[in-house]
Amino acid sequence: MEGNNEIKGPLEINVGEVLRQRIPRYWRFIPRRLVHWLERTVCQDELNRLLRDNFPRRDADFCRGVLDDLGVTVNFHNLDNLPPKELTRVLFVSNHPLGGLDGMALIDFVRTYYGVAPRFIVNDLLNAVEPLSDTFIPVNKHGAQSREAIRRLDEAFASDAPLLMFPAGLVSRRGKKGVVADLEWQKMFVAKARQSGRDIIPLHFYGENSSFFYKFAKFRRRIGLKFNIEMIYLPREVFRSKGKTFDVVVGKPIPHASLDDMPPARKAQQIRQMVYDLEKP
C-alpha cells in the first residue's frame, strides 16, 4: 500500500484542540487547569518530540526509530520455530502487556525477518496514529464492522503479507492473584486464519506496566466505570520503558488445518494458554 504523500509535517498531538473539536458546546466550560493536566498525563510534549524526531519515517521504519530513541532492546528467542522466510502468509498472535512498545517491537521484528512490511489488525481508535496508517488494519472491537473495515480485513488475510494481532484487543490487566495477563482472547483470529489458510505463530511477550497502571484500572472497575480511562496513562508507560530490555519467545507454528478440532472460541483460549506456556530459555 502506498504511503500518504500529502503529509506536510509530523503529526502533532494537541489535547486542547481535540477537546475543542469533539465537544465544542462544552469546551468553554472546561477549566484550563484540567486541560494542562491532561496534556501532562498523556505526555503531550514528549510524544510530539518523538513524532518530530522520527518524521518522515513511516510504518516499520517509524517503529525502529522510536525504539532506538527510547533505547529499548527486544530479544527474540527460539527463532528456529519460525517457518522459512519465503512463507509469508502467517498470522502472528501475541499477548499484549505494554500497550504500545510491544506492538512497535513486533512490527520491526516481522519486517526485519521477512524483509516485507507486515499488516497489524488493531483497535480502530489507533487510526489517529498516522505514521502507522499503512500498517494498521482498524477493526471495531465493540460493535459491528463497516463494509470498508470488512473489505480491508478480508484483503489483508487474502494477501501474501505477514499479519500481526493482539487477540485480547486490550492491554493486559492484573488479576485477582496478582498475575498480569490478557483478558479473554477473541475468536475472530481463529476463524480468519482457518478460512484464509494461514498458520498461526504464537508469541509470548514478557513485560509489565507499572503497578500504578494496574491499581488505577482496578479502582476504575471497583467504582463501576466501564470506560477504560486508565488508557490515558499508557503514554507514560511508554516513556517509563526507556532503556529497558524485553524478551519475546516464539512458539511452534499452529497449522491452519488443525484449527477446526474445536469451536473457535475454545480454540482461541487454548492458543492463549499456549502463549503463556512459552518460557524463556
If you average pLDDT over residues 157-177, what whole number do you get?
96
Confidence class for position 74, pLDDT limits 50, 70, 90: very high
Mean pLDDT of the chain: 94
How big is the CA angle at 244 (ends 218 and 178), to the nearest 5 degrees? 25
Q: Which amino acid is at 269?
A: Q
Confidence class for position 44, pLDDT limits 50, 70, 90: very high
Would you state the cell numbers that stand for residue 188, as one nine-digit string? Answer: 475472530
| pLDDT > 60? residue 3 | no
**Cβ(4)–Cβ(134) below 8 Å:** yes
| pLDDT > 90? residue 209 | yes
Q: What is the pLDDT of residue 7?
A: 62
Q: What is the DSSP letter of 223?
A: T
Instruction: Return d(Cα 263, Cα 266) in angstroms, integer.
Output: 6
| pLDDT > 80? residue 145 | no
Q: What is the pLDDT of residue 4?
A: 47
| Sheet arrangement for strand 245-250 | 73-77, 245-250, 199-206, 90-94, 163-165, 119-123, 136-139
Which among 43, 168, 201, 45 is positioned nearest to 97, based on CA atoms? 168
Would you state the cell numbers that stand for residue 231, as one nine-digit string? Answer: 488508557
Q: What is the pLDDT of residue 2?
A: 43
User: 5-14, 19-28, 145-154, 235-244: which has the highest mean pLDDT?
Assistant: 235-244
Q: What is the pLDDT of residue 144?
A: 67
pLDDT digits (tens, 9 = 90+) for 176-185: 889 999 999 9
| pLDDT > 70? residue 129 | yes
Q: Which residues contact 8 (CB under 8 A, 6 or more apart)?
A: none
Q: Which residues contact 236 (CB under 8 A, 6 or more apart)?
A: 41, 42, 43, 210
Which among 165, 171, 151, 190 is positioned nearest to 229, based on CA atoms? 171
3-state secondary structure of 120: strand
Q: Which residues pair with residue 91 across a beta bridge?
A: 163, 200
If you average pLDDT over residues 205-229, what whole number do you get?
96
Q: What is the pLDDT of residue 5?
A: 47
| pLDDT > 90? residue 147 | no
Residue 261, burial from CB neighbour count under 10 angstroms (0-12, 13-18, 19+):
exposed
| Type and span of the H or E element at 112 | helix 101-114
Domains (ranges, CATH) in the chain? 15-53 (no CATH), 57-276 (3.40.1130.10)
Q: What is the pLDDT of residue 143?
A: 62
Instruction: Return d(Cα 66, Cα 74) in angstroms, integer.
Output: 13
Confidence class for position 125, pLDDT limits 50, 70, 90: confident
pLDDT exceeding 70 applies to what percent of the chain? 96
Is the N-terminal amide bond of 235 cis, ω within 30° of 0? no
If you average pLDDT over residues 121-140, what whole number do you get?
91
Q: Kindly provide the b/e burial profile for residues 151-172, where b requires at least 16 CB atoms within 10 angstroms of the residue's own CB.
A: ebbeebbeeebbbbbbbbbbbb
Instruction: Return d(Cα 258, Cα 199) in angstroms, integer.
Output: 9
Q: What is the pLDDT of residue 1?
A: 42
